[in-house]
Chains A and B, each alone.
Chain A
């Protein structure tokens, strides 16, 4: 039993699934098309309404037809009973041998006297109380189906005038009959007269009415559906046009406008939409212009500063070279001047780089290069600084060369920036650089164990001139543009630069680059969140879910 049930359930599920699959397009259409929904709802509502109304009309008319037939039959029946009663007065005894012939005469007379248009009515006389008396029927047909035992009971035993609708096969034709029975009083008791009138006319009239109502109702429902469809289309089409136009607008085609037809609400919508689009366009163009001016300004300022800076630099270099001859206080100033000029120069360089990116002049000079030596070179260059702050740079590099189509200069710059930052914020803890690659991508992570990043800062770190603590002095004299430029570089490669950090746990930056330039990145060979973070997990408050505690990784 259970097995059978299981099988059944399985098949049911399969069926349901098939059905769902089969139904899926319909469901999708239902979700997406307002027109379909309106038409469907209109069809449902109108069929319910029309159906109820049609049923009411058909039912009422059938009842009226039937009651008219019943009234006629009742009047006719009264006359028939009176006639039969009159004819039976001549028989004072039930055992009168002429009684059967009177029965025959009565049924024949009553059946003959019936108007012919009613067609095929049957008259039968019975004597339920006198089983020895034969029952007579005219025309001579079997009445077992026509006169049911219930009717006989009510008429013969209860002495009531009763009627019933029966369907019977008479003369090889199945016909609906209205059978009415009445007791006929006689001198010796009572006999029963049954009058069966075919309801053919009434039935066909009722059927015609029903068919007409059904056809009209169906036509009405279909028409309502069509009308609803048309009306909805009238409304939906401009909305769709507006949606499409909005889509184009958002795609940057700012000169897209809707067509304005007439003066109705939809025309108003279109006009308003167009006005909105025009305003947006104007605003966007203005902002673009502004932004362009700004970038131009930055670029120009940087260029213009460069020439005086070179002169200043030359002078400063001279002074710096002669510092030993000066007063120690002046010598100290010369040193300071030299350092600040270095900073100024690198700031200018960065600004120019940034403005190049902004102006869209930055170009990728991609070539197949081994990334391992690049990493090693960066570590080497920063070894001095690391040593000074007591940070040990650990490299985890694969043994084989990692060849990728990259711009080595830019990758080196990015890595220098990242490792430099890590060393700077490493708080004398080791910095780990890991390189990994797969078929499609190369990833380099730089891990430090410094103060880490607060929640939300992993996105802010890529902003220009951003500082974790504005009050904190720069040790290395960073310009504040390094990560911004790195991010632009990564983007130029079609790669990602992401940051992760947690307060007290340090931070990790990951640079992911496609192996082939121009490929789209799908995944990185290294995780953004460091693997060694696990021991720190128990420290996270238990009520905070791990996902919430995870600082969000930023995809650049």
Chain B
């Protein structure tokens, strides 16, 4: 009996407690940890950003303060607040926009006093998405920043500062690098560049993630009507991992390619992406949409989608000599005939524009002068020539024509050219149909110079001595110009001529405050100027042309020519005059100068 009881207890205990999944167990080591796989070297060390503790000297502290916001936009506010006294930091408005200012005078500080006076001019606003928006220049303002200690905390603090994040243009240049991202134009025929500024503090491995963040956001406001955004709701679902095995993997949510999207949408996305992440050039792009299988593309073609890539390294150069288009001797194909225009029609020309696509060439010439001036156009297959047709409803004070869009197809009406007549912009096509006035929102001034970017959708123009940029919208049957934004090239009080010299920069000629003319290369938002020629005399520059650089080798300087006082000059380390000897098939005539140089673009 007792045995029975005992064994029953034993069995019950065994069954109840001995088996089943235990409540707790010891730690079991399964395996060694994974070996370190991808190791991305730090490589490029970002510039060191000064901190508040670095200096107690008021002027230096203020100088450091004016660099604090530069860098990662999400933590910019925290960096700025670290400089501020706690109660001031509490009042400091949140927001990620940073004002870029130029200190027009060095900061002033009387020893022993708390105030540091800064005088600055706001140049633009740097948004969190890297877009820099220039503002209409205003007069410099002064501000007294107060510097002092805070109870119980070591070091000096900024006790009073403007209620906005600001960095100097010097810090802007030091802590940011320009990056171009691309958007498809509304007709999905080509990419439109959009200039952004990336903090140098972003490690190389994070740049694709940052760029993807920009691409899933909105384009710069002035391009909104001209380009297609990614579909609404597109989001990066995870970081873009470092490139390994020459493969870049991008994961987007399902909205990136919505149901019923056109079949090339994913390919376009890849091309847009590949252009945007340049100079990173992984061989393989892997795009994962939602929970679909990733789509791999090895050595996918994308370069041609950017019109700027199709530009020549060494452009064909032309100039007018005595109303006739002549090739320059240094130009490639110097012995070839003039494209499109027949020998007989090549006369009495005052300005001309030649453009070519992959299969066709287009010509637009202004003949005659004064009231008799006419615009004539022609188009032909490459190597062929055609009669030039007059364009109706244009006469009188005509500017230099430019070709904005030159399609490959055999449809002359699809081409878009622009010309000013009496300071108003007109558009024309290659068929000789009547030119139409380009609608321009706001109050248009007199346009004196006009240049179209290689993508054909962005325009730089000069009106009333000021430089503007605007987007050209050709998607509807109407060709319209977006609201022009004023761009202030540094150090020029009057702008007289402009030309695109790369996909994101302009060559600008204008009058400096010392009343001398200069030629500058500025970015499309007016920052980061390179002075090409600082002083070319007091003679007004009436015409400027440049052949944009291809985006694949941006280190070079673009070929630029300007016309001042009737003479054409090439912009080199110093201006070099274009003399008739430089032209082919020309016998030099005294008192007759080569003028209006231009490129086959």
Contact = CB atoms under 8 A, between A and B. Distances in A.
B203 A163 contact: no
B119 interface: no
Nearest to B249: A86
Given A92-B40, A97-B74, A105-B238, A164 B21 contact: no
Contact of B239 (A90, A163, A190, A214): A90
A55 B205 contact: no
Interface in A107-161: 109, 148, 150-151, 154-155, 158-161
B32 A161 contact: yes
A520 to B, nearest CB: 40
B473 to A, nearest CB: 37
Most buried by A among B205, B237, B239: B239
Contacts of A81: 34
A494 to B, nearest CB: 46
A379 interface: no
Nearest to B6: A44
Contacts of A82: 34
B48 interface: no
A163 B27 contact: yes
A165 interface: yes
Nearest to A109: B238
B128 to A, nearest CB: 13
Contacts of B10: 51
Interface string A152-184: 001100111111111100000000100010111
Interface in B63-93: 72, 74-75
Given A26-B1, A90-B241, A150-B27, A203 B35 contact: no
Given A86-B241, A90-B240, A97-B72, A164 B20 contact: no
Interface stretch (B11-19, B50-58, B164-172, B490-498): B11-19
B72 A160 contact: no
A471 B1 CA distance: 66
A48 B11 contact: yes
Given A65-B21, A190-B33, 12 more contacts: A47-B11, A51-B15, A89-B40, A92-B42, A98-B72, A105-B238, A161-B33, A164-B26, A184-B34, A185-B36, A187-B40, A203-B21
B513 interface: no
A203 B20 contact: yes
Contacts of B29: 154, 158, 160-162
A85 B4 contact: no
Contacts of B72: 97-98
Contacts of B4: 40, 43-44, 47
Interface stretch (A205-213, A248-256, A397-405): A205-213
B281 interface: no
Given A87-B241, A102-B239, A160 B31 contact: yes
B25 interface: yes
Nearest to B28: A163
Given A105-B239, A161-B30, A62 B25 contact: no
B23 interface: yes
A176 B21 contact: yes
A76 interface: no
A44 B26 contact: no
A426 interface: no
Contacts of B28: 162-164
B25 A164 contact: yes
Contacts of B590: none
B205 A90 contact: yes
A182 B32 CA distance: 9
Nearest to A155: B33
Nearest to B26: A164
B38 A89 contact: yes
A180 B423 CA distance: 74
Interface residues of B, number: 49
A517 interface: no
Contacts of A297: none
A93 B237 contact: no
Given A102-B239, A154-B27, A154-B29, A89 B209 contact: no
Contacts of A43: 4
A98 B33 contact: no
A343 interface: no
Contacts of B206: 90-91, 96, 98
B21 A90 contact: no
B438 to A, nearest CB: 44
B485 to A, nearest CB: 32
A183 B21 contact: no
Nearest to B202: A98
Given A81-B34, A160-B30, A92 B19 contact: no
Contacts of A165: 21-25
A59 interface: yes
Interface string A351-384: 0000000000000000000000000000000000
Nearest to A77: B30
Contacts of A213: 15
B395 to A, nearest CB: 60
Contacts, number: 166
B154 interface: no
Contacts of A58: 15, 19-20
A217 B31 CA distance: 39
Interface in B221-241: 237-241
A44 B21 CA distance: 28
Contact of B14 (A27, A51, A207): A51
A326 to B, nearest CB: 93
Given A44-B3, A90-B205, A92-B42, A180 B15 contact: no
11 contacts: A40-B4, A98-B72, A109-B238, A150-B26, A161-B30, A164-B27, A165-B24, A176-B21, A182-B34, A185-B37, A214-B15
B8 interface: yes
Contacts of B25: 164-166
Contact of B31 (A87, A161, A167): A161
Contacts of A162: 27-30
A93 to B, nearest CB: 7
Nearest to A51: B11
B114 interface: no
A54 B33 contact: no
B130 to A, nearest CB: 15
A30 interface: yes
Contact of B19 (A109, A180, A210): A210
Contacts of B386: none
Contact of B30 (A40, A50, A91, A180): A180
B24 to A, nearest CB: 6
Contacts of A97: 72, 74-75
A202 interface: yes
Contacts of A93: 42, 203
Contacts of B24: 164-167
B255 interface: no
A202 B14 CA distance: 20
Given A59-B19, A62-B20, A148-B27, A85 B34 contact: yes
Contacts of A106: 238
A165 B28 CA distance: 9
A149 to B, nearest CB: 10
B297 interface: no
Contacts of B22: 165
B14 A55 contact: yes
Most buried by A among B27, B34, B35, B240: B27
A180 B33 CA distance: 12
Given A87-B239, A90-B206, A55 B23 contact: no
A154 to B, nearest CB: 5
A484 interface: no
Interface string A206-241: 110010011001000000000000000000000000
B443 interface: no
A202 to B, nearest CB: 6
Nearest to B209: A90
A281 interface: no
Contacts of B36: 185, 190
